[in-house]
């Protein structure tokens, strides 16, 4: 029984206060119960008494659960250099945790290096392969996106094989993802990677598949510290951009209108929606949406520049000048922008 095990560990660690292994075991027990705060004192004690790769890993995992990523990174950067760190019973999990912390901290090159090591060690670990692809995509570089596509294609091929479930890892050590959600995350990342790499038709195909999946609304639920990777806003923005570039403005308009309805505070989505309206021959709606963007953030030089460019496009559109007088709005925006950045 968990209660009995907890009582035994507490009693033993109190009776032998210098036994690092007992403090580590007590901390691991709390971690397994998702009680990171309760685990901290035991894990810090274990690390102080006998600093090992495993004690550092468990303490870092507790710190991550509590949101202390900077301290976890410092600890893990030392742990990977400790004697015994590369032992097969600890290294894959240690490297994976370190890679995740690096990703959250924004150190993408080192995160990619560590995720690559994890994937090389455990090629059937689909979440690790996905996280490697995510880190590559996050760089927004074409070459990195092409590498991500290779990993994502392999993962999708693996998840569709009959051996899934028996031989493949489909979730991290704590908390498993249903196959449907994992596939949705893989396809969402593949859509983003294809967009960045320039393969727009394939990007559009995968965006469509993601939004058609019954689990698409739950994507962010399983993304932990990477929730932005799977937010409806981000995916809708990518979907809309690709549809506009492929001259499918009606598709872009439909997805962006719904996205803005769900997240009216996302100004980038509203900018894309204005562009979709204009591409669909609706300059009045395009201008009203553009004006809304400017009204929400009038002191943003980026938004001012965009508003001026979009206003000029609206003014030059066939239906624009007859229905809308945008010139004075553009003059006002130019005047304000010149005062913001003289």
- Across residues 178-199, what is the average pLDDT? 89
Give counts: helices (H), strands (E), the chain.
18, 0
63-72, 173-182, 220-229: range with lowest mean pLDDT: 220-229
Q: What is the rounded distance in angstroms from the CA atom of residue 283 to the CA atom of residue 297? A: 21
Angle at 313 between CA 244 and CA 203, to 5 degrees: 10
* Dihedral sign computed on CA atoms, order 7, 90, 94, 71: positive
Q: Residue 217 has what pLDDT?
A: 55
Residue 29: pLDDT over 60: yes
Helix (H, G, I), strand (E, B) or coil at 125: strand
Q: What is the rounded distance in angstroms from the CA atom of residue 316 to the CA atom of residue 327? A: 11
pTM confidence score: 0.83
Q: Residue 117 has what pLDDT?
A: 95
Residues 215-274 have pLDDT tens digits of 555 555 444 445 456 677 888 999 999 999 999 999 999 999 988 998 899 999 999 999
Helix (H, G, I), strand (E, B) or coil at 169: strand
- Across residues 64-91, what is the average pLDDT? 96
Q: Residue 179 has what pLDDT?
A: 65
Q: Residue 334 has what pLDDT?
A: 65
Provide CB contacts within 8 A for 233, sequence distance 6+. Answer: 259, 262, 263, 266, 269
- When the pLDDT of each residue in the chain is averaged and rounded to a whole number, the result is 86
Residues 278-308 have pLDDT tens digits of 999 999 899 999 999 988 887 788 888 898 8
In sequence order, the β-bridge partners of residue 125 are 169
Residues 140-163 have pLDDT tens digits of 999 999 999 999 999 999 988 766
Q: What is the rounded distance in angstroms from the CA atom of residue 219 to the CA atom of residue 312? A: 38
16-25, 126-135, 206-215: range with lowest mean pLDDT: 206-215
Q: Residue 200 has what pLDDT?
A: 98
Q: Look at residues 336, 311, 313, 308 and name the one whose alpha carbon lies nearest to residue 326.
A: 311
Provide CB contacts within 8 A for 109, sequence distance 6+. Answer: none
């Amino acid at each position: 029984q968990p209660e009995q095990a907890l009582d035994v560990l507490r009693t033993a660690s109190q009776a032998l206060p210098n036994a690092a292994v007992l403090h580590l075991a007590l901390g691991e027990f709390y971690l397994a119960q998702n009680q990171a705060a309760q685990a901290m004192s035991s894990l810090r004690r274990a690390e102080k008494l006998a600093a090992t790769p495993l004690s550092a890993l468990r303490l870092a995992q507790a710190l991550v659960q509590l949101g202390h990523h900077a301290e976890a990174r410092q600890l893990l950067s030392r742990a990977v250099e400790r004697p015994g760190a590369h032992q097969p019973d600890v290294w894959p999990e240690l490297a994976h945790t370190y890679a995740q912390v690096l990703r959250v901290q924004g150190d993408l090159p080192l995160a990619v290096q560590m995720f690559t090591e994890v994937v090389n060690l455990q090629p059937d670990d689909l979440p690790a392969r996905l996280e490697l692809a995510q880190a590559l995509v996050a760089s927004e570089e074409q070459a990195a996106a092409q590498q991500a596509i290779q990993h994502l294609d392999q993962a999708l091929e693996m998840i569709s094989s009959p051996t899934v479930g028996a031989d493949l890892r489909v979730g991290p050590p704590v908390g498993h993802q249903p196959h449907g959600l994992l596939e949705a995350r893989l396809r969402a990342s593949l859509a983003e990677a294809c967009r960045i790499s320039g393969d727009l038709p394939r990007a559009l195909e995968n965006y469509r598949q993601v939004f058609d999946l019954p689990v698409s609304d739950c994507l962010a639920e399983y993304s932990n510290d990477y929730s932005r990777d799977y937010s409806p806003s981000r995916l809708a923005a990518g979907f809309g951009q690709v549809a506009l570039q492929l001259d499918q403005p009606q598709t872009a308009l439909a997805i962006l209108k719904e996205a803005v309805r769900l997240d009216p505070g996302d100004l980038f989505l509203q900018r894309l929606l204005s562009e979709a309206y204009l591409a669909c021959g609706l300059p009045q709606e395009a201008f009203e949406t553009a004006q809304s963007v400017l009204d929400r953030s009038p002191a943003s030089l980026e938004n001012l520049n965009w508003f001026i460019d979009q206003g000029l496009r609206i003014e030059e559109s066939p239906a624009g000048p007859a229905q809308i007088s945008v010139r004075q709005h553009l003059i006002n925006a130019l005047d304000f922008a010149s005062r913001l950045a003289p």
